[in-house]
Each structure stands twice: as C-alpha cells, then as structure tokens.
C-alpha cells in the first residue's frame, strides 16, 4: 500500500492549541478556537422598527459586546444576548442507540475541536413586523425535529464515543442594534465572532462538550445571522453541510428535500482501541504556529479564475489553481525574507473520500471521511505555478477507489494506524515550511435556505487577537455567485507584508472587497 501523509490540517482548535500532527483530515473543514473579543470594526448604525418585535424588546440576560467604529467612537454596534437554552430532539433516542462509537478518522480529533461559520440572511419582507419572532420560532422548532434523525448531534462528545443523551444543542438568541448590510460591507474576522455562541471565559460551557452550538442574531433591519459551531469529532465539511441542509429543509417545510443521515461510518472505517487519545496526539505544534500571524481575505472573480486556470495548466481545477497561486506567493515571500535559509515547502491538500470511492459510500454518511495529500516544493525548485499545480494534481490522482478500499474494515484501520504512528512530526522539522488548505468550495453553503432565501454572505467564524488562525493556513470558500472564490489566508505578520503586495497575486485577486458586490450582481 502506498503510504500517504495523514497529516492533520488543523486551522483552529478550541482548547487554545493548534496541531498539524498525524491524522486524517476533513476535506474543507476549518477549525474553531473559541474566542470572544471587542475590537474596532467599520460599522455604521441604522435604526428601524424591527426592534418592536418580542425578541428585540427582550431584556439581555448574558452579556453585551461592543465593537467601536474606527475613528468614530460615538458609533458602536452592540450584540445583546436575549436567551440561552438547549434545544432537545422532539422524540427520545432509543436505548440501543445511546452510545455512538466513532470511526478511526473521528478518533484522531480531540473532543474540544470545532468548526465555525456564520450565515447572514437578508430581510425579504420589509413590512412584516412579526418577522423576527416567527423566524425565531421556526428555527427552534425545526432544529428540534431534525435532531431525532441527527441524534448524536444532540449528545455530548467524548474522546472515543458520543453519549447520545438527548441533552440537546446549545442555543443562543441575540439582537444587534444595526443593519446587516452595514456589518458585512467590509467583513472583519475580528468582529464576525460576535455572531457565534461561545464566550471563551465560560469554562463551564467548554466542559460540557456539545456537538453543536448555535446563535441566532436578529438585526434592526430584520436580517438574521445564524452562527454555528459543529464538533470536528464527528462532523466534517460534508456532514456540516448535510446537517444545515436538513435543518433548512425542515424549517422551510420542504418535505421532498428532507434528508435521512447515515451513521455507518464506524462500520466502514472501524476505530482502533490501541490508538493514542486524540488530545495527546494533537497537542504538539501548539504555540509556534499561532504566534504573530495575521489573516487577510482575498477575492477571485469568475473572470480572473478563468485566466488563472489557463495559466495553471490544462489539468487544473479552479480550486487547485487558486491553491497553487497562493502556495507560489507564500513560497516567494518566505524566500525573499529569508534568502539564506534553505527550506522545503509542503502543501497539505484535503481530499474527500466520498467523491473518490467506488462503489460510492452511503448517501448522507456522517463523520470524518477524508485524508490530506502532501505535496513538496524542494528548496532548489522553482516555484512556478504550473509545476506546483501539477504536484497537487499528481497527489490527488493517487487517491483512487483501489486506495480507499485498503482503508476500509479492520485491516484498513490497522493500515491507517501504522501510518499515523510512523509519521514524522513535520512541526519539528526545521527545514520544512507547511501550508495547509481547507476547501469549502462545494457549492452547498449558499444553498442553506430556511425559507426566506439563500444567505447573502457566509463567513468563517474566527478572529484575532484572542485566537488568530493558524499560521500558513488557507481557507477557500464559494461566494453567492458560485464561480467566484474567497481565500482567507493566514501568514506570519512579516510574510504577509510581502505576500499581500505580490503583483502575481494581485493580478488575479483583490483584497477584502465588499461581499455585497457579489450579492448585488447575483440579484440582477
């Protein structure tokens, strides 16, 4: 069997450490470090009558976070928590399903590792003053309904299993005294976190190891933000989107689109009792890759992606072309700043096993089902775009149905265990710089329609200064206009000063444009 690098491409972790240690990576999953902050952000205030709803008039019971507008201290955005509760399944989980043993791919992740995103929904019923209250009720009721099918997500996460005790999803309702479009006009990863349900000072909440946590925030204009944490222990990119799609279908009353999840992944990729606890495996590389780093959001238009793909070569996809360009510019920034240092550059690129398996894996199969390929640009190699993309493509081609079959069953799990335990720890190799990619460009995130339209913007839910993204990490996402890509790039502060001014990058990408431009174009 060809030995693969099962390096865990971790972007964020909730226990304030990061890891790139051995493991099976979830395709396109960013990870969440719990944080809560008060920062400067470009926000303007617009008032309207939606605060007359019952939700908006409720008294806050938890905390109020303030984001001050840059250079205008008189204007500020306040997010106020209205209520906190657990949303439980409408029906109890049968006794024989009370313990869900995770797969070997799930085993690798610690129980306190989360993914976070925020979905922003425009108000499409401007004269309906009961809008917020009605939508709030629909969201809670439909979530309770689908948890009977997604029963492990209403339980508590442990290292080797999920306790399906029907404790429910942690659920927060909030309001904000501002208009949605003002908040996302120039999205700031330092302030987006205000729309997520976790306060890092709450050690009690962290210790409860919820599988899912949600915050629904109502804006003064009638818009809504749905912020969500999902546990990486059981939910990868595909599983995240499947869960959200099921919730949205139930909320919108779309019976024909209802989803029946499949929880047989531990039977396909059985766990290994001798595998070290995931928490111990992921603690290395803790502080080094989160110090002194900064994140920038780059936008690739549809036309620039067409040009970039042509330059990258005939075998390139749009995701590989963007990955190759970012990798190239990161390598050149590193070499420019450290010319006397001879380093190899590794790119970790995730591959979803579902799309490669033949026969196909069961539909709506929940769990982690991906590996990460490891492409190398040697210290003496030219960082040419087409050659870097070719390296990515060659590694991708190696993951075929024959390879995946060797990962299945008890023998496959032993093969995975051998690879995990034999893998070199790249974090301690001084001659290798690692860049990791998470790929969310699957066309599904902007299809999450709860009955009042698609989201006008979906954001990664992380921020600085409490928990910056992992250094040398890239998150690729769709926009509402599906032929575009957003890239959230995190590098050291020094590398970013060179990277963000690279003319090769800026000939294809723009830095932090308003997402409302894509939304306006989509409305035409």
Q: What is the pLDDT of residue 489?
A: 94
| pLDDT > 70: percent of the chain | 75
Number of neighbouring beta carbons within 10 Å of residue 258: 14
Q: Provide the pLDDT confidence category of residue 88 given band limits of 50, 70 and 90.
A: very high
Q: What is the pLDDT of residue 115?
A: 83
Q: What is the pLDDT of residue 369?
A: 93
The span from the CA of 238 to the CA of 357, in Å, is 15
The answer to whether the 49-268 and 291-523 domains have the same CATH topology is yes
Indicate the CATH number for domain 49-268.
3.30.559.10
CATH architecture of 291-523: 2-Layer Sandwich (3.30)
For residue 120 the two structure tokens come to: 């922003």
Lowest pLDDT segment from 24-33, 321-330, 398-407, 448-457: 24-33
For residue 111 the two structure tokens come to: 């129980």
Q: What is the pLDDT of residue 406?
A: 94
Beta 509-511 vs 293-300: how paired, if at all?
Answer: antiparallel
Q: What is the pLDDT of residue 73?
A: 32
Question: Tens of pLDDT along 101-136?
Answer: 999 999 988 887 888 899 999 987 766 668 899 999
Cα 397 versus chain centre, distance: 25
State the average pLDDT over residues 395-416: 93
- Asked if residue 465 has pLDDT above 80, the reply is no
**Higher local confidence (pLDDT), 255 or 340:** 340
Q: What is the DSSP string of 268-316?
A: HS---TTSPPHHHHH-TTTTGGGTTEEEEEEEE-HHHHHHHHHHH-TT-
What is the average pLDDT value for the chain, to the nearest integer?
80
Question: Tens of pLDDT along 476-516?
Answer: 999 998 899 999 999 999 999 999 999 999 999 999 999 88
Q: Provide the pLDDT confidence category of residue 336 given band limits of 50, 70 and 90.
A: very high
Q: Cα-flanking dihedrals φ and ψ of residue 34, to 5°?
A: -65, 130
Whose tokens are 């009720």? That residue is 137
State the average pLDDT over residues 176-184: 90
Q: What is the pLDDT of residue 469?
A: 61
State the average pLDDT over residues 154-174: 96
State the average pLDDT over residues 20-42: 28
Q: What is the pLDDT of residue 123?
A: 87
Q: Where are the domains of the chain?
A: 49-268, 291-523
Which H, E and C letters describe 98-130, residue by residue?
Answer: CEEECCHHHHCCCCCCEEEEEEEECCCCCCCCC
Q: Provide the pLDDT confidence category of residue 256 given band limits of 50, 70 and 90.
A: low
The span from the CA of 452 to the CA of 54, in Å, is 20
Helix (H, G, I), strand (E, B) or coil at 325: helix
Q: What is the pLDDT of residue 291?
A: 63
Q: What is the pLDDT of residue 214?
A: 97
Q: Contacts for 250-256 with beta carbons within 8 Å, 24 or more apart? A: 250/142, 250/143, 250/145, 250/146, 251/138, 251/139, 251/142, 251/450, 251/451, 252/449, 252/450, 252/451, 253/451
Q: What is the pLDDT of residue 394?
A: 95
Helix (H, G, I), strand (E, B) or coil at 180: helix
Contact 251, 450 (CB under 8 A): yes
Angle between helices 318-337 and 385-398 (to 10 degrees): 120
- Asked if residue 87 has pLDDT above 70, the reply is yes
Q: What is the pLDDT of residue 51?
A: 36
Residue ranges of the alpha helices (H) in 76-227? 104-107, 131-146, 180-184, 203-207
Residue ranges of the alpha helices (H) in 147-277? 180-184, 203-207, 237-251, 265-268
Q: What is the pLDDT of residue 8?
A: 38
The span from the CA of 207 to the CA of 164, in Å, is 16
Question: Tens of pLDDT along 347-376?
Answer: 999 899 998 998 889 889 999 998 888 999
Question: Tens of pLDDT along 41-81?
Answer: 222 223 233 333 333 333 333 333 333 333 333 346 688 99
- Asked if residue 206 has pLDDT above 80, the reply is no
Q: What is the pLDDT of residue 167?
A: 97
- Asked if residue 413 has pLDDT above 70, the reply is yes
Q: Which secondary-structure segment (H or E) carries 505?
A: helix 503-506
- Asked if residue 138 has pLDDT above 90, the reply is yes
Lowest pLDDT segment from 177-191, 268-282, 386-400, 475-489: 268-282
Q: What is the pLDDT of residue 78?
A: 81
- Asked if residue 249 has pLDDT above 60, the reply is yes
């Amino acid at each position: 069997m060809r030995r693969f690098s099962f390096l865990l491409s971790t972007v964020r972790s909730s226990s304030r450490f990061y890891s790139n240690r051995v493991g099976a990576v979830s395709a396109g999953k960013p990870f969440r470090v719990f944080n809560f902050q008060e920062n400067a952000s470009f926000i303007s205030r617009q008032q309207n009558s939606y605060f007359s709803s019952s939700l908006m008039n409720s008294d806050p019971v938890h905390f109020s976070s303030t984001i001050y507008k840059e250079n205008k201290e008189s204007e500020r955005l306040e997010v106020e928590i209205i209520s906190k509760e657990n949303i439980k399944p409408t029906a109890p989980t049968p006794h024989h399903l009370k313990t869900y043993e995770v797969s070997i791919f799930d085993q690798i992740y610690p129980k306190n590792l989360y993914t976070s995103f925020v979905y922003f929904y425009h108000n499409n019923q401007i004269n309906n003053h009961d809008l917020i209250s009605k939508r709030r009720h629909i969201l809670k009721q439909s979530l309770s309904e689908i948890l009977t099918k997604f029963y492990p997500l209403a339980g508590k996460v442990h290292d080797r299993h999920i306790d399906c005790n029907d404790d429910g999803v942690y659920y927060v309702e909030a309001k904000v005294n501002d208009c949605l479009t003002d908040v996302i006009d120039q999205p700031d990863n330092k302030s987006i976190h205000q729309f997520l349900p976790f306060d890092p000072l709450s050690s009690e909440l962290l210790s409860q190891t919820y599988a899912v946590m949600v915050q629904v925030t109502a804006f003064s204009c009638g818009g809504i933000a749905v912020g969500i944490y999902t546990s990486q222990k059981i939910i990868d990119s595909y599983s995240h989107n499947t869960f959200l799609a099921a919730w949205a279908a139930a909320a919108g009353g779309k019976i024909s689109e209802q989803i029946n999840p499949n929880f047989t992944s531990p039977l396909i990729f059985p766990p290994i009792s001798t595998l070290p606890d995931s928490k111990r495996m992921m603690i290395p590389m803790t502080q080094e890759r989160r110090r002194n780093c900064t994140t920038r959001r780059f936008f690739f238009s549809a036309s620039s992606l067409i040009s970039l793909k042509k330059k990258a070569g005939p075998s390139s996809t749009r995701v590989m072309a963007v990955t190759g360009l970012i990798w190239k510019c990161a390598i050149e920034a590193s070499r420019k700043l450290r010319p006397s240092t001879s380093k190899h550059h590794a790119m970790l690129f995730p591959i979803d096993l579902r799309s490669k398996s033949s026969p196909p894996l069961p539909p709506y199969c929940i769990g982690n089902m991906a590996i990460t390929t490891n492409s190398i640009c040697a210290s003496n190699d030219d960082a040419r775009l087409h050659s870097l993309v070719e390296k990515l493509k060659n590694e991708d081609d190696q993951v075929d149905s024959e390879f995946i079959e060797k990962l299945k069953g008890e023998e496959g799990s032993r093969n995975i265990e051998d690879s995990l335990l034999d893998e070199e720890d790249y974090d301690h190799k001084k001659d290798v710089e690692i860049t990791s990619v998470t790929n969310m460009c699957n066309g599904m995130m902007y299809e999450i329609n709860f009955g009042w339209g698609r989201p006008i913007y979906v954001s990664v839910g992380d921020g600085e200064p409490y928990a910056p993204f992992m250094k040398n990490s890239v998150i690729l996402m769709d926009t509402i206009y599906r032929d575009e890509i957003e890239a959230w790039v995190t590098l050291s502060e020094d590398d970013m000063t060179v990277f963000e001014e690279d003319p090769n990058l800026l000939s294809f990408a723009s830095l932090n444009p308003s997402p409302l431009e894509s939304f306006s174009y989509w409305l035409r």
